[in-house]
Structure 1
Amino acid sequence: MMTSRWSATATGPATNGLSSGSMTSAYAELHCHSNYSFLEGASHPDELVARARDLEMPALAITDRNGFYGAVKFFGAAQRAGIQPIIGTELTIDDGTRPPKDRVDYDRWGDRLLLLVEDKLGYTSLCRVISMAQMPNAKGMARLPAEQLASLSGHLIALVADPKERLPIYQEIFGRDRVFIELHDHLAPDDRSRNQRLLDLAERHGAPLVITNEVFYATPDRHRLHDVLTAIRHRTTLDEAQRYLHPNAEHYLKSGAELRQVFSRYSQQVADEGLAHAAEIAGRCRFSFDLVSARFPGFPVPAGETPYSFLYRLCQDAVREKYHPVTSEVAARLQKELDVINKTGFSEFFLINWDLMRFARSRGIPGQGRGSAADSIVAYLLGITRVDPIEHNLLFERFLHEEMTTTPDIDIDFSTAHREQVIQYVYEKYGPERTGMVCNVVTYRQRSAIREVGKALGFKEETIDHLAKSASAWHPESPETIAQAAGYQTANVTKPWQQLFDLATQILDFPRHLSIHVGGMLVTGEPLIDIVPVERATMPGRMVVQFNKEDVEELGLIKMDMLGLRMLSVVAEA
């Protein structure tokens, strides 16, 4: 009988010269859900990063379900903490069976495939993979047949925890050195037998092992919140959701030493190989967000002109029309702003917004810029704003200065009745493959938190309704204030009220679902799906990117804010 390479008497696998102690200290968690796995993860990205820092973990991956919704926030938090960020996703693979019609049961359908980005090419591939899984399917029900991964498998690492018969397919698609059997043990009754089946499968197909903890929260105390989120996701109470809940609080972010202890009930070779490969994979994943080269769509300028020279000429023509005479103060201010715009590389940004206003005027659509853009004489000369910053002594540096790394913000109000014409103009000019609506992440506020947590805890509907309607009368200071707002005496405050207080407080500001931004459009110089995953919006004919306004600004991408103002519609009709 052949001896398994993981049996107690087998020779241990190659560990790149790492001792057991160094493998443990170098461990990086590669399977981690933040609360951007909507109604599933129970910790913010920065909470997971803080926990990893406390554990002295050198690297951490975020692998939210079918998306990059929290990737930018996680990446920034990890870099600030001195932790190497790894970007990935847990992708739903179509298993060939009929998917459920209702999203309530969808999270238990299909297979799961964990994909990690190695570099920029891997990031581009995974953006396309996620988009392919999202776009053909109903909102919240992304899935992709495994065979469609073949053309986009480069520079990705796959972790497989439930491959069924697909392991050879994955090895062929990604390459044998990029497919790892994922082991995690949460001390549940079936974990050891499941892992033994995976070990046997890995033995038959020569697949390497990796250990993760399939994390859903940073610390064990968030286990109860994870349960509540699960009940909310299934639209039921905790009592009725028992079959969907994890049996314990072991899905938290653990150190390599803790996982070595967990896996001590297997052979040492299993722990050695699994922990060593986690560190090795982390070392291979070196992607960094650097998308500035894709920020501009290539605004068309006349032959012989550059974006800056064309902007310069437009401003020089306009300044002679608006100022009589052009004083030295005006000339100096204009030159100063143009110099800053040229140095920061935002000439195209101003031209894009100038073009929007030019189109609106040509169609008789009322529109005007507002906010800090009014501090710019260039914006004034281009007709983006109507406020003279010289006359009103406005400071340009409030809007743009040389040290800025984010894109300046120009909000333009159009009449509500005609804004769609401007949006369609952007689609037509730059093409739908380079244009998409920015997402808005809807988060829990006081009323929604109390309604959904209260329902999950089994509170009566009338009590929940009364609490939610009186939310402005109480603040999450103590369970007594909540009980009193519902008409109960303080003496009647019991454990359920304490739980409601604790959980409603914890869930505040948690992402709940994705919606579309009221007017933000992302325009890129490369195909949009190479920059960010896209998915269907609820509005017909719209697609929404998985980055929100803050993400786009953080990455220095170009976002146009075209907002609807009803008063301008009234003006247009007058």
Structure 2
Amino acid sequence: MYLNCKTYFSYRYGTFTTEELVKAGAAIGAEALALTNINCTADAWDFYEFCIQQGIRPVLGAEVRNEDTFCYLLLAKNLDGFAAINRFLSEHLQTKAPFPQRPRLKAEHVRIIYGMETAAPGALRPGDLDEHELIGVRPSEVNKLYGKNTTGGKFVIRNPVSFQAPPADDNSRDRNQKNESYRLHRLLRAIDKNTLLTRQQPEDIAAADEFFHTQEQLTAVFAHHPTLITRTKEVMDTCDLSLDFSTDKTLQTYTGSKKEDRKLLRQKALEGFRYRYEARADALERVEKELGIIDQMGFNAFFLITWDVIRYAQSRGFYYVGRGSGANSIVAYCLQITDVDPMELNLYFERFLNPKRSSPPDFDIDFSWKDRDEVMQYVFTKYGSERVALLGMFSTFQRNATIRELGKVCGLPKPEIDALVDSPKAPLKEDRYQRGIQHYSERMINFPNHGSVHPGGMLISEKPMYTYTVVELPPKGLPAAQIDLFLAEKINLFKLDLLSQRGLGHIKDCIELVRQNKGVSIDIHDVETFKHDPLVAARIRKADSIGCFYIESPGMRQLLQKLRCDDYLTLVAASSIIRPGVAQSGMMRQYIHRFHHPAAIEYLHPKLEELLKETFGVMVYQEDVIKVAHYFAGLDLGEADVLRRAMSGKYRGNDRFRAIRDRFFEGCKAKGYEEALSAEVWRQMESFAGFSFSKAHSASFAVESYQSLYLKTYYPMEFMVAVINNFGGFYRTEVYFHELKGTGATVLPPCVNEGSYETSIKGSTVITGFNHVQGLEEKLVKTLLAERAHNGIFTDVGDLVDRVAITPEQMNLLIRIGALRFTGKRKKELLWEATFLYKKKQRQPAGVALFREQPARWQLPDLAEHPLDDAYDEMELLGFPLTNVWALADVDLEAFKTTSDLPACLGQTVTMIGYLVITKQARTQKGESMMFGTFFDKRGDWVDTVHFPASLARFPFQGNGFYVFTGKVIEEFGVYSVDVNAMRKQGLKGRSIL
């Protein structure tokens, strides 16, 4: 009966979650349900599984629409039919071609059901339809069957289900209109149409009766047309689709033969073993063990595909980092997928892959943001567009955005919407709209809003991707599946993560700049040398890490100093305990305390001391959770890994999670532990596991950090230029220019004759890139640079005007930023000269002059220049001054303490002036807002501040600039900061000051 059901994956239309729809169908005794979301099959396999659990036959399909116009339903008779539907939808969604009036799909695979209007004059008549084509009649349309021959086999019942039914005890006449779920549907439709609810058109929304009618109700409505009831059941019975979720759906072979895959992987792993280790018995033993498990679990092709991607990247000179749990594998290390030695760190291969692990493994490979897209395109080309797709994901409605959307469609003024967003617990006025918005926003939270693309996941399937999902073409231009990570995992379709990060861009570009500027070639993979370099160690110890991947934030810099970090293993640990949840749970502070006082550690149990001595009794890594579950509580490695995943949130509240929790306590009891001990160990595991990295992941981050640190130590100017050119890092661009000036580089503004689009370096002279000048057109800059390369440098303003089509406004920008300083003239003189040239040009007749006229000469009056003119121009056009920023501070700098004074002033109240770098908001245990600040002091050193709620409320931050603050000097584990009790923003000197 129910062959037209939708969930909230009919975006901004349906109001059922997938599970709710199936349970609602079960509640009214449905024997079969058809999922037909609008142009979408995103939750098909979740629906399939929920139906099986409820004893309902699942039917998969789609409701096809052109905009808001219903075209037809497509129902899959089998798995081939579902693939055909997915292919059909994909082709039209990708090309944006309208769906045809009549689809050409094979009768043996797909049922096509048109609307009742198909039987109207001028449209398709029942006699025109093929065997697999039918006409669906809604309950409200039963009167239209009067006088029609309904025994001919073409009419079926179509009871659209888009939202929940009204309460059963509501017998009022307008019960459908009063239905809360119907109102939610109308709100969703108004958001979709970006229209006021009061201006909604009938064609924009569903009919008010699009909910589950009981079989008794449908039988009564169609009592005079019993053949429709019979035929509808027959149609559902002919749709029989099944999929074995447990089988691997990923591409099964790399070479075309599983036997050859096994041989090739072994060959490449042993070649890599000789490169990595030369000869080492314990390492070779582990290689052999891993190869056995990889082959046993059928992942030879998975490793070879990843190796193939890495091989391509190497052939193109692309820099990459393999990280994540894949770095636990010595085979991955030998294949150069990762640069983390699992033997050095005693990494568990079982964290990545073990015979009892139920979830698929995956590799995380980072590329430079400039290279990643080409690598992805290689995968599509190598393995075929039919089998490859980017992994999908879904953007969901969240509280603030939802309130704003609902406020707009209800016609609330912006101030009222802002009040609702800013004060969720504030008492509301007696206003039904405001109360309704609060109510419906809660219902809409986590509803899918639209499809999106996973940051880097790629799927490579054995069968065509259409077997499982629709494939769309998002703006990025590469095909993307409609299924997300969780659904892909559910059906055993494994992903390969090809991610991008700007930290790799820093490294790659720095290596090239060093080669160009100093003629030095760097082996950036010589990480072992970097780890033992004393100058690199000293830089970590000082936390002089601005621009370095993952270790430049104020919090991380403080942590490095508190741990006196100067070695690889400590940096690996720091990369995990800096995670937000760890700090909030107090585990980070506990780790630091134990680091400084190892002799005072009291372990809960000798077994825990044995397992966690390396990390001072704290579970720093996800592997620690697995070790404790396995060796302390007796869970097998598969169960321990499921427990680790459950604690990270994937299975929380799941029956499977609860069962393994019970197994943990049963195992503890069997080993004779006291109940209080078991409960405390569980509490520590649960509080930490959701926020930790795998040790291999942290190690991968630490390797990249060392590479950045080495470059910053030995080639600081080139390194900071590379950071600037990649626009990536924790801080705004100004901070990296500050660091660059601190290396001794001479930093100059852009230059028409010597500059480039990006920032460039020659010797120790750096010329700021034109790409930093706000308002300057990229097209103009590239034209200018091409003309310079072709015909030589420019001689003066007139030469530039003659050779490049440049507007007066763009010329003014170039002059004000100092890009024409090669003329030897002052800015104001150049502005006058340019103005004269443009006026003269306007008076000239059309045509190209054969000879260039000599520039006119005239005498200008003495135009006053002020010391801060350049700084103010740079602040306006770059967003920050290239000159000394402290020259702008309108205050006597000698009156203030500096960062170097803080140790001698511990416990005392000091007054400092700082240039704001960044702030971080936090909340106290009472939920009150507080802030952490980071500043440059007058010498350019860094100083950190704490602003507790009372102080912050009286002395809030007011944007970037100078601040004078007073507070008590505090210290924690050797790191000094200022607890601010008063603060004011300091003004700038005016241009009129000489």
Task: Give the structure-1-normalised TM-score.
Answer: 0.79
Q: Counterpart of 2:251?
A: 296
Correspondence for 2:99: 144
**Alpha-carbon distance in 1 for matches of 2:359, 2:258:** 29
Please state if 1:215 is matched with 2:188.
no
How do residues 120-269 of structure 1 correspond to structure 2 at under 5 angstroms?
120-137=79-96, 143-147=98-102, 149-161=103-115, 162-163=117-118, 164=120, 165-168=123-126, 171-172=129-130, 175=131, 178-185=132-139, 191=140, 194-198=141-145, 200-201=147-148, 203=150, 206-220=152-166, 221-241=180-200, 243-244=202-203, 249-261=208-220, 263=221, 266=222, 268-269=223-224
CA deviations on 1:54-91 (whole Å, 9 max, x unpaired) are 22322211101112122122222223333222101011
2:199, 2:335 → 1: CA distance?
61
CA 1:242/1:311 → structure 2, altered by over 3 Å: closer, same or farther? same
1:417-456 equivalence runs, <5 A: 417-456=370-409
The answer to whether 1:327 aligns with 2:281 is yes
Cα separation, partners in 2 of 1:218 and 1:527, compared to 1, 3 Å: same
SS at match of 1:299: coil
Find the residue that maps to 2:5 and give its secondary structure. coil
Query: In terms of mean alpha carbon deviation, does 457-466 or 558-567 score higher?
Result: 457-466
Output the CA distance in 1 between the equivalents of 2:248 and 2:352: 22
The 8 Å contact of residues 35 and 511 in structure 1, kept in 2 or not, is answered as yes
Task: Specify which of 59, 74, 89 is matched with residue 86 of structure 1.
Answer: 59
Q: Is the 8 A contact 2:138 2:160 kept in 1?
A: yes
Matching residue of 2:293? 340
- Structure 1 residues 181 and 304: alpha-carbon distance in aligned structure 2, compared to 1, 3 A threshold: closer
Q: Which stretch shifts more, 227-236 or 316-325?
A: 316-325
Report the aligned-residue RMSD.
2.7
Identify which of 346, 349, 357 aligns with 1:393. 346
Bigger radius of gyration: 2
Residue type at the aligned position of 2:473: R
The 8 Å contact of residues 15 and 184 in structure 2, kept in 1 or not, is answered as: yes
Number of the residue aligned with 1:561? 497
Q: Give the counterpart letter for 1:499 in structure 2.
A: G
| 509-518 vs 42-51, which moves further | 509-518
Alignment partners' CA distance in 2, 1:198 and 1:298? 56
Q: Cα gap change, 1:465/1:202 in structure 2, threshold over 3 Å: closer, same or farther?
A: farther
| Percent identity between the two aligned chains | 30
- The alignment partner of 2:345 has SS state of coil
Gapped regions of structure 1 (runs ≥ 5): 1-27, 94-105, 186-190, 475-480, 485-489
**2:61 partner SS:** strand
The answer as to whether partners of 2:428 and 2:435 remain within 8 angstroms in 1 is no
SS in 2 for 1:547: coil
**Secondary structure of 1:387's match?**
coil
Structure 1 residue corresponding to 2:449, chosen from 474, 496, 512:
512
Deviates more, 1:242-251 or 1:46-55: 242-251
Which of 40, 45, 48 is the matching residue for 1:75?
48
2:9 alignment partner in structure 1: 36
| Match in the other structure for 1:312 | 266
CA shift for structure 1 position 414: 0.6
Aligned-pair CA distance for 1:372 = 1.6
Residues 106-125 of structure 1: pairs in structure 2 closer than 5 A: 106-107=67-68, 109=69, 111-125=70-84
Q: C-alpha distance in 1, partners of 2:364/2:258?
A: 31
Deviates more, 1:150-159 or 1:245-254: 245-254
CA separation of 1:410 and 1:243: change in aligned 2, threshold 3 A: same
- The amino acid of 2:460's aligned partner reads V
* C-alpha distance in 1 between matches for 2:128 and 2:290: 54
Q: Which residue identity lines up with residue 305 of structure 2 in the other structure?
A: I
Return the alpha-carbon distance in structure 1 between the equivalents of residues 272 and 205 of structure 2.
Answer: 66
User: In the alignment, what sits opposite 2:310?
Assistant: 357
Q: Describe the shift of the 1:405–1:279 C-alpha distance in structure 2 as closer, same or farther (beyond 3 A).
A: farther
Distance 1:112 1:454, change over 3 A: same
CA spacing shift, 1:376–1:467, aligned 2, 3 Å: farther
Relative to structure 1, is the Cα distance of residues 125 and 242 closer, same or farther in structure 2, using a 3 angstrom cutoff? closer
1:319-367 Cα offsets, whole Å, 9 max, x none, are: 2332354334x34433332222222211111111111112212222111
Q: 1:383 aligns with which of 336, 340, 344?
A: 336
Q: Secondary structure at the match of 2:268?
A: helix
Once residues 124 and 158 of structure 1 are traced to their aligned partners in structure 2, the CA distance between those partners, rounded to angstroms, is 15
Residues in 2 aligned to 1:532 and 1:491: alpha-carbon distance in whole angstroms: 45
Give secondary structure in 1 for the equivalent of 2:104.
helix
Return the offset for 1:561.
Answer: 1.4
Partner in structure 2 of residue 6 of structure 1: none
Q: Which residue of 2 aligns with 1:96?
A: none
Cα distance in 2 for residues equivalent to 1:533 and 1:438: 11
Flag the 1:382–1:247 CA change in 2: closer, same or farther, 3 A: closer
SS at match of 1:182: strand
Q: Which residue of 2 aligns with 1:98?
A: none
1:353 aligned counterpart, secondary structure: helix
Whole-Å Cα distance in 1 between the matches of residues 206 and 265 of structure 2?
A: 63
**Structure 2 CA distance for partners of 1:297 and 1:430, relative to 1, 3 Å:** farther
**1:420 offset after TM fit, Å?**
1.6
Structure 1 residue 285 corresponds to structure 2 residue 239: yes
Partner-residue secondary structure (3-state), 1:252: coil
Alpha-carbon separation, structure 1, partners of 2:88 and 2:127: 17
Farther off after superposition, 37-46 or 405-414: 405-414
Q: Does structure 2 retain, via aligned residues, the 8 Å contact 1:62–1:71?
A: yes
CA distance in 1, matches of 2:490, 2:258: 33
Aligned partner of 1:371 in structure 2 is: 324
The structural deviation recorded for 1:278 is: 3.1
Moved more, 412-421 or 522-531: 522-531
Once structures 1 and 2 are overlaid, which stretch shifts more, 400-409 or 33-42?
400-409
**What letter is aligned with 2:61?**
G
Q: What CA deviation, in whole Å up to 9, does each residue of 1:225-247 have, x standing for no partner?
A: 11111111211121111534668
Hey, what's the Cα distance between the residues in 2 that align with 1:491 and 1:146? Answer: 50
Point out which structure has higher relative CO (alpha carbons under 8 A, 6+ apart). Answer: 1
Q: Contact 2:164–2:182 at 8 Å: present in 1 too?
A: no
- How far residue 151 of structure 1 moved from its aligned partner, in angstroms, is 5.0
C-alpha separation between the residues in 2 aligned to 1:371 and 1:391?
16
Please, what TM-score do these two structures have when normalized by structure 2? 0.47
| Counterpart-to-counterpart distance in 2, 1:326 and 1:275 | 74
* Cross-structure match for 1:48: 21
Any conservation in 2 of the 1:320–1:326 contact (CA below 8 Å)? no
Q: Deviation digits for residues 23-45 of structure 1, max 9, x if unmatched?
A: xxxxx411101111111111111
Rounded to whole Å, the distance in 2 between the matches of 1:533 and 1:247 is 24
Query: Quick check: 522-531 or 152-161, which moved more?
Result: 522-531
Shift of 1:167: 4.0
Aligned residue in 1 for 2:615: none
Task: Note if contact 1:449-1:508 (Cα within 8 Å) is conserved in structure 2.
Answer: yes
Structure 2 unaligned segments of length 5 or more: list them: 167-179, 511-994
For the pair 1:572 / 2:515, whether they are aligned, the reply is no
